[in-house]
């Protein structure tokens, strides 16, 4: 029997959870994923775990109730493409699969920690509060965000968020082991590649009168902080609920670009380019996680600043490869 299950275990946040567990001396881990034909498998190289299973086989085991009981499930497996158009696929993969695994966990007394998303907040017009009374009012801008919202609402409606499980609304996560995400990679990762190839960073122009080019803002959270929050809730089962995971402080895209240049020891050179038409009506100009609820839940560790996180990522991972 494995002590932990990590779905999406070869993915970005999931593989970092496996690495963090390994750093704590834990290798009794069942990794679940769909490796497919991309380079995601490379995230598993060097990690220690007891077994690997493909997602479809794992889902069948859930339905047949043949899985061994574990201490905790970290459910990070999902389609994270905000541009995915197949709504039926997203509803099944991001909502129904999550619900099936949650119900199995509840039946077996297993701690269930799942990835929601800051994308559930839509354009931010209703703010970024993770309080339960706010959640049903949110209006995501894309089907990815809504597929995450679907499960949040199911869990809230059935009372399990307040009693047994944890949902984590990750904001803009960046850090090691995201190379496979292609266009869904963080702008930190993309900017690093642009600087290496062209000596500059390209950022989208603004189409909102309240924001100058490059001054659109996001809450950028280092993956090491996101993982630490996951492990905190695995260790503290007395606390449940839906929580934002961010720094609580929004920063501009220009701030991010300058941080990457600084980490690479280069002077900033930024070019503003047109945003694709299909994104303009679904673009978030501001995100900022309200993390008061997370702090009330007992998580007191300071979040890594943008500059410190980017420096660590660039110098100890991207440049070290």
Q: Which tokens is 202 given?
A: 């390209």
Q: Which tokens is 25 given?
A: 């001396």
How many of the other CB atoms lie within 10 Å of CB of 13?
25
Alpha helix (H) ranges present in the chain?
Answer: 12-23, 55-64, 87-90, 97-107, 143-157, 187-198, 223-235, 253-263, 277-280, 292-296, 306-313
> What is residue 130's DSSP assignment?
-
Question: Residue 109: CA atoms inside 13 Å, Cβ hemisphere, count?
Answer: 1
Closest CA to 118 of 248, 236, 17, 257: 248
Report d(CA 260, CA 310) in Å as an integer.
6
The residues carrying an active-site annotation are: 144, 181
Question: What b/e readout covers 222-235, taking b as 16+ CB neighbours within 10 angstroms?
Answer: bbbbbbbbbbbbbe
Q: Which tokens is 19 given?
A: 């690495």
């Amino acid at each position: 029997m494995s002590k932990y299950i990590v779905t999406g275990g070869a993915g970005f946040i999931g593989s970092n959870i496996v690495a963090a567990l390994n750093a704590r001396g834990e290798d009794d881990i069942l990794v679940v994923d769909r490796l497919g034909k991309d380079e995601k498998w490379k995230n598993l190289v060097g990690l220690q775990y007891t077994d690997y299973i493909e997602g479809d086989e794992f889902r069948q085991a859930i339905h047949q109730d043949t899985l061994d009981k574990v201490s905790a499930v970290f459910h990070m497996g999902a389609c994270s493409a905000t541009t995915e158009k197949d709504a039926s696929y997203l509803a099944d993969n991001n909502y129904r699969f999550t619900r099936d695994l949650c119900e199995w966990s509840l039946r077996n007394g297993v701690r269930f920690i799942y990835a929601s998303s800051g994308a559930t907040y839509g354009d931010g017009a209703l703010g970024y509060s993770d309080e339960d009374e706010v959640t049903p009012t949110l209006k995501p801008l894309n089907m990815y965000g809504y597929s995450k919202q679907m499960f949040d609402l199911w869990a809230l409606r059935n009372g399990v968020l307040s009693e047994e499980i944890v949902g984590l609304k990750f904001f803009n996560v960046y850090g090691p082991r995201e190379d496979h995400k292609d266009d869904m990679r963080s702008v930190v990762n993309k900017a690093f590649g642009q600087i290496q190839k062209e000596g500059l960073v390209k950022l989208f122009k603004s189409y909102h009168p309240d924001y100058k080019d490059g001054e659109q803002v996001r809450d950028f959270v280092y993956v090491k902080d996101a993982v630490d929050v996951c492990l905190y809730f695995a260790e503290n089962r007395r606390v449940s609920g839906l929580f934002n995971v961010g720094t609580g402080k929004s920063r501009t895209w220009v701030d991010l670009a300058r941080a990457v240049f600084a980490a690479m020891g280069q002077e900033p050179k930024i070019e503003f380019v047109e945003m694709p038409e299909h994104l303009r009506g679904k673009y978030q100009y501001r995100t900022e996680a309200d993390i008061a609820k997370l702090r009330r839940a007992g998580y007191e560790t300071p979040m890594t600043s943008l500059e410190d996180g980017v420096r660590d990522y660039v110098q100890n991972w991207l440049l070290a490869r």
